[in-house]
Chain A
Amino acid sequence: MVSRRDRDLLRDDLRQRGTKLSTADREQLLKTYLPNPAELPNRSRASTATSERRKTRKKPIRSFLKSQLHRLVYAVTHIIFGIVVRLLQAYHAVVNRIFAVVYHHHRTPELIRKDVRGLKRLPQHLSTILTLRKEDDALAVLMDEVAELAAWSSCAGIPQLSIYEKTGVLKSCLPALHQIITTKLASYYGTPSQQPSLQLYAPHHPVHGKPASPYSETGSLTILLLSSTDGRETLVDLTKTLAEMSQNGKLSPDDITPELVDAEISEITTQPLAADPAFSETMLKPEPDLLLVFGPFLKLDGYPPWQIRLTEMYCTGIRSHGLNGDGEAVEYQGYMRGLWHFAGAQMRFGR
């Protein structure tokens, strides 16, 4: 830590654009804060002989005690930190339970709508990261989570939802997933006439579902499925194509601009919609406004990098996976907290 006097000196110097102090002055000032040259690890210098002698003269007992002390402090801080984390976890678990009781959707769109009514802004394109668990029924659980998210989003009035799942297993069962989501929507909305129109697709896959009619009052929901191949792999594919074009003389490397890459990358996620004339009305915003991560900490896990430049990220926070086996990661109250956080609001007990 720099002492106050020296700090003020340096600040003064900076204000004068480095003219006040001479080089030697500054070095003199810094000298007290620099580590002893002899303590630097494995650095061979011209003055090795002297430092070598000093090294042998160093007190082994003192350094041993020092390392033991460090080890002890490490253990103690981690124990204290662990206790604090556990306490926080317990606290959040209680708070989450209360929220889960107070804010429950009861599968009623009106209640969900009421929960988001006071919010200043809603994401137009919401994105979530889901993980496939290891149990036997993992896929069924995952699909149910997607369906729940779809139902909440459509009730809250979020028109676009993208689901990232690393392995891409969801993409292989689009029709089944579409069926499950429709069933889930029916359990929320009732008769099909009241349900929003649903479009489900993935890059390089056809669109499932019927297009939204512009006059319907039920709204529409567009769901995009992403996987890790839509991330770096897509950029690599783009590079391959560009390299091939350049080799054939169809393109000069100078033509490659961020705008071109952006257009091409956005195309990947919007292309299936645009290709089908029935869906040309539905435009997907390629960059999500809000990224919800259901997990203990924020890790993107291979999420497509290009699109998240300005995306706000929210992690539902400390979750105890250990308590009830798999732990139901995707919860309504976590989802709501994310939306409230995005709007810059605080959730309170009691609706």
Chain B
Amino acid sequence: MAGSMHMSRLRNWFLASPPVEFAITNLKELLIGALQQGPIPQHVAFVMDGNRRFARSHGIETVEGHNLGFEALARILEVCYKSGVKVVTIYAFSIENFKRSKFEVDALMEMAKVKLSQMAQHGDLLDRYGAKVRVLGRLDLLKPDVLAAVNRAVDLTSRNGDRVLNICFPYTSRDEITTAIRDTVEDYSKPIQNTRSAGAASRTPFSESHIAYNIRAQTLGSKTHDTTSDSESTSGSSAQDDDLPTRNDRANHVYESGSSFSSSTTLHHGGQQEPHKGSPQTAPTESDSPVYISPETISRQTLNDRMLTKGTPPLDILIRTSGVERLSDFMLWQTHENTEIVFLDVMWPEFDLWHFLPVMLGWQRRISKSRQDPDAEGNFAGDSPESSEEDLDTMLLRQSGKVKSI
């Protein structure tokens, strides 16, 4: 034990000596620059696990372990952003973590507050270099002072460049999915207020009003008196597909309100008459039962747009440290399709470029391979993530170089 302590001190002294430090820094720069030559994942997520275990195994306080974890985060963020990763998502605090000891929770909150308010002090620096900070999760569970710091940091960085740091603060994925469902339901149970048309989307590709219009157009010569049944069905469900049915719809309402017109003239002049017939037009929609968007229009995209990660590229790599091999309620919705999940047997405070590099190289290798011939490996045929144009350019460059060398 004493011998290993001695050795590690010697090693630390060696690594901290200026020439070695300089060499390592330059080597890292070189490797990051080299990484940039290949495809780069657009979105990487980290589960920062192992701070507590690291602290326990090194005989330091838990809080100190979290501090070291924060340093590791800063290190890895530097690597990510320098090599061209657009979005980094980190799992900072789970809703479940509120169950931990009050001392630890308070210390974590304090740390978050200090870090976030420090960030706010460096406003102009962040403007120049910084990434956008977004905090995902149940902000309502935070204490007011922490929440204030969060809001300040988010506001301050909201106008920053295209790099994004997502901090999942009190977050669980199930909560996120549930919230997305709830928001969708809420949005869909608001009656449609606007008077442009009675309904929004029809269940069928054909709109009833349009059919009614066609039938009427065929029997144009004769006068149609009983259009009440038509208008009832129209207000129930009609289409927003194109302009035509909507205008017919309007025409129907106009016709209904101004009943003295003959149907043929109303249909033809509906569009022109509409402006000065504005007020009676709204009447039928309001008197009917409220009209909603059809739930059938809900799709994966609808839910996707209500996830907390909306607007970010799909998750390419998820890394969890400390050798625990489960997701623990993190990014379930985002990871379950094309994300490569990597479990590393290293504590988060020790995590560095040296652990990250093999993951990146493996990913680059796989992506370039699957791009070169998509049929080669059945597992990921054809679903290589979208690449930015510069990636494609470098790919092309390398390929042409190969051809030349042949």
Contact = CB atoms under 8 A, between A and B. Distances in A.
Interface of A: 1-4, 7, 11, 14-15, 17-18, 23, 26-27, 30, 34-35, 37, 40, 43, 45, 66, 69-71, 73-74, 77-78, 81-82, 85, 131, 133-134, 231-233, 235-236, 238-244, 246-247, 251, 253-254, 256-258, 261-262, 295-306, 308-314, 321
B121 A23 contact: yes
B280 interface: no
Contacts of A17: 110, 114
A240 B298 contact: yes
The 4 closest A-B pairs by CB, nearest first: A73-B34, A74-B37, A243-B295, A246-B189
A299 B25 contact: no
B43 to A, nearest CB: 15
Given A247-B292, A308-B336, 12 more contacts: A69-B33, A73-B34, A74-B34, A74-B38, A85-B362, A236-B299, A239-B184, A240-B296, A243-B184, A243-B189, A257-B178, A300-B336
Contacts of A74: 34-35, 37-38
A104 B262 CA distance: 87
Interface string B119-131: 0011001001100
Interface in B376-402: 377-380
A243 B298 contact: yes
Contacts of A69: 30, 33
Contact of B378 (A242, A246, A321): A321
19 contacts: A1-B25, A35-B82, A37-B128, A70-B30, A71-B37, A232-B336, A236-B298, A236-B302, A242-B185, A247-B188, A247-B292, A247-B295, A299-B339, A304-B336, A305-B173, A305-B333, A308-B326, A309-B328, A311-B326
Contacts of A2: 75
A27 B366 CA distance: 40
Contact of A299 (B117, B300, B340): B340
B332 interface: yes
Nearest to B363: A297
B27 to A, nearest CB: 9
Contacts of B327: 308-309, 311, 313
A247 B342 contact: no
Contact of B21 (A1, A71, A233, A311): A1
A131 B38 contact: no
A346 B31 CA distance: 35
Interface in B64-79: 67, 70-71, 75
B34 A299 contact: no
B135 to A, nearest CB: 19
- Residue among B71, B161, B337 with the highest chain A CB neighbour number at 10 A: B337
A298 B181 contact: no
Contacts of B299: 236
Contact of B122 (A27, A297, A310): A27
B309 to A, nearest CB: 13
Nearest to B290: A247
Nearest to A41: B161
A27 B378 CA distance: 51
Interface of B: 16, 21, 24-25, 28, 30-31, 33-38, 67, 70-71, 75, 82, 110-111, 114, 117-118, 121-122, 125, 128-129, 161, 173-175, 177-178, 181-182, 184-186, 188-189, 292, 295-296, 298-300, 302-303, 325-329, 332-333, 335-343, 358, 361-362, 364-366, 377-380
Contacts of A298: 340-343
B129 A306 contact: no
Contact of B300 (A66, A232, A241, A296): A232
Contacts of A71: 34, 37
B185 A239 contact: yes
Given A70-B30, A78-B361, A247-B188, A309 B173 contact: yes
B368 to A, nearest CB: 8
B343 A313 contact: yes
Contact of B295 (A34, A240, A258): A240
Contacts of A7: 71
A296 B299 CA distance: 32
- SS of B interface (majority): helix
Nearest to B33: A70
Given A1-B24, A14-B114, A310-B326, A246 B188 contact: yes
B338 A312 contact: no
B303 A232 contact: yes
A71 B393 CA distance: 13
A299 B338 contact: yes
Contacts of B326: 308-313
A63 to B, nearest CB: 11
Contact of A309 (B35, B110, B292, B332): B332
A247 B125 contact: no
Contacts of B328: 309-310
A35 B81 CA distance: 12
A313 B366 CA distance: 21
Nearest to B28: A1
A18 B149 CA distance: 14
A335 to B, nearest CB: 16
A40 B341 CA distance: 31
A201 to B, nearest CB: 22
Contacts of A305: 173, 177, 332-333, 335-336
Nearest to A327: B378
A73 B186 contact: no
B31 A297 contact: no
Contact of B174 (A73, A231, A297, A306): A306
Contacts of A242: 181, 185
Contacts of A77: 31, 34, 361
A76 to B, nearest CB: 8
A305 B327 CA distance: 10
A37 B333 CA distance: 38
A309 B328 CA distance: 5
Nearest to A296: B379
Given A1-B25, A295-B379, A300 B335 contact: yes
- Residue among B25, B188, B328 with the highest chain A CB neighbour number at 10 A: B188
A7 B328 CA distance: 32
B341 A14 contact: no
B202 to A, nearest CB: 16
Contacts of A3: 16, 21
A222 B366 CA distance: 36
Given A82-B365, A231-B336, A310-B326, A299 B35 contact: no
Contacts of B173: 305, 309
Contacts of A73: 30-31, 33-34
A321 B341 contact: no
A258 B174 contact: yes
A288 B231 CA distance: 53
A48 to B, nearest CB: 13
